[in-house]
Structure 1
Amino acid sequence: MTYIHTEIYGQGQPLVMLHGWAMHTGVWRDFARRLAEYYQVICVDLPGHGRSEILEPFGLENIAEAVLQAIPVQEFSVLGWSLGATVAMAIAERAPQRIRHLLVLAGNPCFMETQDWPGVKSRTLDGFAELLKTDVQQTLMRFLALQVNGLAHGKALLQTLKHALHECPPPPVTVLQAGLDILKISDLRPFISNNASTISLILGEKDTLIPLSCGEAVRALNAGVNVHVLASAGHAPFLSHPQQLLAAITHTL
């Protein structure tokens, strides 16, 4: 069985946290400890990220199953950020009986833009994939910069992200590439449409990766989805607007 690294803080209702592409638990550990004043927070390093072992093949179904096996409680709420949000939706689709509440943070059931769906332009993901072939470090730095682009105190936030990222070696190129492929091809809109459980979508007003119109599009799929918009926040609100995000989560759960 693939070793999946977890870090657990606090007591109470379990809340599982799944980080984004190329990251690991360290990127939001400080925020997790703030959440731990209210919940038992279970931070998970996705396979091949941080301190977790590589999973082959690195596909969405395999990742969802590996993460589910690593979670030490039967029922839990799950907060997924960016790529972690895609994994969280896949987990909820796979094991709905274990999910109390699904929180999609800066995520999108169809991450890539289509003719009828708002998302990241294909050339953006393709550009990262192409650069990965020659310069992993530059790819990661560009991705971090995109997350704080246009924000107040963006330079300081970028330094925080860089420092957190360097706590662990970066994932192998094959894992990074496979993660981009997951974002590019996954379409969990049918799951959103047909899901009767409690779902919350939390968006940053100034997120350069997940457009605000995604909220309206998701609500059109399922009017029961709760949509929260964090004013002036970007793609990593746990760093830039932790109090706003904390309030949105505690209000929801």
Structure 2
Amino acid sequence: MRPPLVMLHGWASSPAVWHAATAAMGDHPRIMPALPGHAGGAEGMAPRLAAWATAILAACPPRFDLCGWSLGGLLSIGIALLAPDRVRRIVLIGTSPCFSARPGWTAGLDGALVARFRADFATDPGRMLARFHALQTLGDGHRRAVAAELERSATAPHAAGGLAAGLQLLDDTDLRARLSALTHTVRVLHGADDALMPAATAVALSDALPQARLTLIGECGHAPHLSRPRDCAALIDGFLHEPDR
């Protein structure tokens, strides 16, 4: 029997970012929690993947499927590594195992740009978030519509502390060396024209996972579930309904 689907949104977003895609999905139990700090109340939580994954696991059923976008995808990997027996299948959308570029890893975001994001967020969160939203829509064939959805589903303004912690988590986390231990069946969905995390990131992620299948979605930027929600919904539903191997 197919378990419930836990859907994790991205940084500076909210569960509302899934509404367009879930409206086109089949009638099946779904759980869409806010990430730690994204609805406020993250004071004292370390900006570490294990801490955030543990907090999310506490709100999940005993067994579930996972679908994560961007930071939510990174957390999905962390959750599956932390509690592998509780996770059946995983969908990763616009996900990188290592957000920031490092020696030997050019598929990440330039370190200087990430540092500027963090500095700008500390001084002018609203301006930085506007720039980040714009970067997510670059290369998308439905750029204006995606921008409107990103704005509509943005994190509440009072959550600045949680967002700062999430940005640090993104900058600090590197899961590349642990991907070979993730033996779950994984579907990787990625915008072919993503300017934030280029398609090469998804290729590297898929190649490193033992049981992953990659679909690049044309004319989409960093949020294909907003640009082409029906297509993404069909891909997610189809994958989760496939018989177990």
Q: Which amino acid aligns with 1:133?
A: A
Q: Which amino acid aligns with 1:28?
A: W
Which residues of structure 2 form unaligned runs of 5+?
A: 241-245
Query: TM-score scaled to structure 2, two decimals?
Result: 0.89
Q: Indicate yes or no: 2:184 matched with 1:208.
A: no
* Aligned residue among 78, 83, 91 for 1:103: 91
Query: TM-score scaled to structure 1, two decimals?
Result: 0.87
Q: Which runs of 4+ in 1 moved over 3 A?
A: none
Q: Identity of aligned pairs, percent?
A: 32
* Aligned residue among 14, 31, 34 for 1:24: 14
* CA displacement at 1:96 relative to structure 2: 0.3
Question: Within 5 A, what are the aligned runs for 1:80-159?
Answer: 80-117=68-105, 118-159=107-148
Determine helix, strand or coil for the equivalent of 1:65: helix
Residue of structure 1 equivalent to 2:59: 70
**Equivalent pairs, count:** 238
Q: Which amino acid aligns with 2:173?
A: S
Q: Which amino acid aligns with 2:96?
A: N
Is the Cα contact below 8 Å between 1:22 and 1:170 reproduced in 2?
no
* CA displacement at 1:169 relative to structure 2: 2.9
Determine helix, strand or coil for the equivalent of 1:228: strand
Deviations 1:79-129 (A, max 9, x none): 111111111111001000000011111011112222322121112211211
**Aligned mates of 2:86, 2:210 — CA distance in 1:** 23
Q: Which amino acid aligns with 2:222?
A: H
Q: Indicate yes or no: 2:180 matched with 1:193.
A: yes
**Aligned mates of 1:58, 1:70 — CA distance in 2:** 19
Determine helix, strand or coil for the equivalent of 1:49: coil
Q: Which amino acid aligns with 1:134?
A: T
The structure showing larger relative contact order (alpha-carbon pairs under 8 Å, at least 6 residues apart) is 2
Deviations 1:178-226 (A, max 9, x none): 2112111211123211222212221110111111112332243235211
Determine helix, strand or coil for the equivalent of 2:144: helix
The alpha-carbon distance between structure 1 residues 98 and 151, as it changes in their structure 2 partners (threshold 3 A), is: same
Q: CA RMSD in A?
A: 1.9
The alpha-carbon distance between structure 1 residues 160 and 90, as it changes in their structure 2 partners (threshold 3 A), is: same
Is the Cα contact below 8 Å between 2:139 and 2:220 reproduced in 1?
no
Which residues of structure 1 form unaligned runs of 5+?
A: 1-11
Residue of structure 1 equivalent to 2:243: none
**Aligned mates of 1:160, 1:178 — CA distance in 2:** 24
**Aligned mates of 1:34, 1:96 — CA distance in 2:** 29
The alpha-carbon distance between structure 1 residues 190 and 39, as it changes in their structure 2 partners (threshold 3 A), is: farther
**Aligned mates of 1:95, 1:103 — CA distance in 2:** 16
Q: Which amino acid aligns with 2:17?
A: V
Deviations 1:36-63 (A, max 9, x none): x24211101011113x632522321111
